Amino acid sequence: MEQVEPTSAVARTFILKNVRIFHGAGFTECQSIAITGDKIGNNLESSSEIIDCAGYFLIPGLIDAHVHLQHEGHLHELARHGVTTALDMAMWPADKMNGLRGKRGLPDIRSAGLPVTAAGSVHSCMLPLPKEALLSHPDQAEAFVQSRITEGSDYIKVISDVPGPTQETLNAVSAAAHIKDKLVVAHASAFTPFNMALEANVDVITHSPRDKVVSGTIAQRMVKNDVISVPTLTMMRATSSRPPIGAVLGMAISKPSVLSAIIRAKRSGQGPQTYANARDSVAAMYRAGVPVLAGTDCHEEPNSFFDVKHGDSLHTELELLVEAGLSPLDALRAATVLPAKHFRLLDRGIITEGKRADLVLLRGDPTNDIRASRTIERVWCGGIEFRRPV
């Protein structure tokens, strides 16, 4: 492959030639494609800058449907690994969330902003959440949703857990969000909260139960109600492993309320928590026809027991989805076409004229072996090539 020019801070017009292009159901034969500014164009005469990509595979920029962002460095890590859109699932205050938006040449983000939980939940003990996030009555739902919309949240996140918000509160938040045409994403990593989220008529359930496998009947109910799964198997695997004893002891001393909340949540489960339950739940949902999206729950928290890194973890997630039963093609769709469709990001997820020029050039074919998603040669975010800062 020819040597690349130095990074340009602006989107240019250029041609990629002799490249096989992912069209959502497979790869084309070798062809050429024009990139005009931040969009995919159609005029192959539009530029004299031609990049020969013979032997390479071009896929849409990857979408991680469950991230947590703290600072711009996370956007760099995501871009370096081919993730050009990141769907944040809890971030506050609003200034921080909105400060990470619209950064040229870096991944484009969407965010839930502040999530809903309740006093006494694991998350309320673990995270420095403002009181506004702790809902104790369904009457608070409408004002909460309106505040998020005013702040700029793209969708509403509820943390379904036991202990946590009541069924009535979950129902009220979901209904209030739907009146405002906002998607509702529910955290549910155990069987009972998973069913509560379904009962509340949410649109997306993120995580996958670790205490009991989702049955075929439940999966069919999800299909009937158009519910999407973002199982975050990477995080489910991490949280099913035993945390370092030193970290647990540190937590017991510094934050005893978190440990007692975790113990109460575990006691409310249907059985021992295992990764196999989470993985087999994904298999059941996939078999039933539930859209399964790739999301990682990547985060960086000083007190977290679990290490799920931005960017790299999405490739792990794709591998785990294939292990759970998805075909490599469907795993690739789970990080491109499907999240674009189900999160209403209609300007991306597929490589066709007029879409955002979010592109990843690979040396291998991930529909043949999903591990080839890691063979990244070049990445463009909105037509601007990403280069790791020196």
Strands (E), 148-221: 156-159, 184-187, 204-206
Q: Which is nearer to Zn ion, 188 or 326 (CB)?
A: 188
**How many residues at the interface with Zn ion, by CB under 5 A?**
2
Shortest reach from residue 173's CB to Zn ion, in Å: 17
Q: Which is nearer to Zn ion, 16 or 235 (CB)?
A: 235
d(CA 68, CA 237): 18
Contacts of 295 (CB under 8 A, 6+ apart): 64, 65, 66, 67, 87, 89, 206, 230, 231, 232, 317
Q: Which is nearer to Zn ion, 182 or 187 (CB)?
A: 187
Stretches 177-185, 218-226, 238-246, 293-301: which one binds Zn ion (CB under 5 A)? 293-301
Q: Which is nearer to Zn ion, 301 or 353 (CB)?
A: 301
Q: Which is nearer to Zn ion, 36 or 206 (CB)?
A: 206
Residue 330 DSSP symbol: H
Residue 254: how many other CB atoms lie within 10 Å:
9
Stretches 17-25, 86-94, 257-265, 301-309: which one binds Zn ion (CB under 5 A)? 86-94
Query: Under the criterion CB under 5 A, does residue 358 sit at the interface with Zn ion?
Result: no
Strands (E), 47-117: 50-52, 57-60, 62-67, 83-88, 108-111
Stretches 100-108, 113-121, 278-286, 295-303: which one binds Zn ion (CB under 5 A)? 295-303
Length of the chain: 390
d(CA 116, CA 280): 28
Site for Zn ion in 262-281 (CB under 5 A): none
Query: Under the criterion CB under 5 A, does residue 297 sit at the interface with Zn ion?
Result: yes
d(CA 47, CA 71): 36
Site for Zn ion in 139-158 (CB under 5 A): none
d(CA 15, CA 47): 7
Q: Which is nearer to Zn ion, 100 or 376 (CB)?
A: 100
Q: Which is nearer to Zn ion, 89 or 213 (CB)?
A: 89
Q: Which is nearer to Zn ion, 88 or 358 (CB)?
A: 88
CA dihedral over 83, 89, 91, 96, signed as positive or negative: positive
Q: What angle do CA 54, 11, 22 make, to 5 degrees?
A: 40
Query: Under the criterion CB under 5 A, does residue 88 sit at the interface with Zn ion?
Result: no
Shortest reach from residue 161's CB to Zn ion, in Å: 12
Query: Under the criterion CB under 5 A, does residue 64 sit at the interface with Zn ion?
Result: no
Residue 296: how many other CB atoms lie within 10 Å:
31
Stretches 88-96, 120-128, 275-283, 306-314: which one binds Zn ion (CB under 5 A)? 88-96
Stretches 31-39, 85-93, 219-227, 367-375: which one binds Zn ion (CB under 5 A)? 85-93
Classify residue 122 as exposed, middle or buried by CB count within 10 Å of its CB (0-12, 13-18, 19+): buried
Work out which of 89, 159, 230, 258 binds Zn ion, going by CB under 5 A: 89
Give every strand in the sheet of 184-187, ordered side by side.
156-159, 184-187, 204-206, 228-230
Token reading at 93: 């205050």
The residue type of 266 is K
The residue with its CB nearest to Zn ion is: 297
Shortest reach from residue 245's CB to Zn ion, in Å: 24
Query: Under the criterion CB under 5 A, does residue 122 sit at the interface with Zn ion?
Result: no
The residue type of 61 is G
Q: Which is nearer to Zn ion, 89 or 332 (CB)?
A: 89
Stretches 23-31, 112-120, 297-305, 307-315: which one binds Zn ion (CB under 5 A)? 297-305
Stretches 157-165, 193-201, 275-283, 296-304: which one binds Zn ion (CB under 5 A)? 296-304
Shortest reach from residue 232's CB to Zn ion, in Å: 7
Binding site for Zn ion (CB under 5 A): 89, 297
